[in-house]
Amino acid sequence: MTTAPPTPPDTDAVAFVAALRRLKAWSGRSYRQLERRATEAGHTLPYSTAATMLGRDRLPREELVAAFVAACGVRAEEAEAWLDARVAIACGPPAETAVRPRTVAAAPDPRCREVAREGLQSGRARRVWPRRRTFAAAAVAATVLFGGVTATGAFADDVEAEVEQTGTSLYLPRS
């Protein structure tokens, strides 16, 4: 590792992952060695996750990028550049460049970069839009509410009283 490590691009996810592949080649480490180095640095990076991350063209999660660059031997200030580039790609272009002639692109949330950086600095990366958790919580609440109403008998009429009043049977006649 006598040369400088590759620099992270902030253009798109495909270029970013390609730069991560170059970083792995620069480090000269195997996936198993990267896993051990990440553990020594206080991160979690299974070798299979690292291999999958480099085999795709999607933007990896921020905590994976932090673990990967630490395992490759990148210094702290250079690691920050990788994380900043990842956040820039994930959040999209700044709001002032989002407006194009005759078309308006959806501008990202102006708090996107601050929320993402704050989550990583607190030791756990947070998602900016936790849609799955919200949906799961709503589904659990609806299930509990419906189950409680059903268990109390709110949907059931007093069947025995109705049978006595009308003189009907609970069973269908046999034919």
| pLDDT of 1 over the 80 cut | no
Segment 22-49 shows an average pLDDT of: 93
For residue 42, give the nearest of 67, 20, 60 by alpha carbon: 67
Residue 126 above 50 pLDDT? no
d(CA 125, CA 105): 27
Structure confidence by residue, pLDDT tens digits, 84-119:
999 989 887 655 544 455 444 445 555 565 555 555
Task: Indicate the pLDDT class of residue 155, thresholds 50, 70 and 90.
Answer: low
**pLDDT > 70 in the chain, percent:** 59
**For a pLDDT cut of 90, what percent of the chain falls above it?**
38
Q: Which residue reads 């798109």 in tokens? A: 12
Partners of 58 in the beta sheet?
Answer: none
- Spans of all domains in the chain: 13-129, 132-166
**Letter for the amino acid at 63?**
E
pLDDT attached to residue 59: 92
What is the mean predicted confidence (pLDDT) over 44-59? Answer: 92
- At 22 the pLDDT is 94
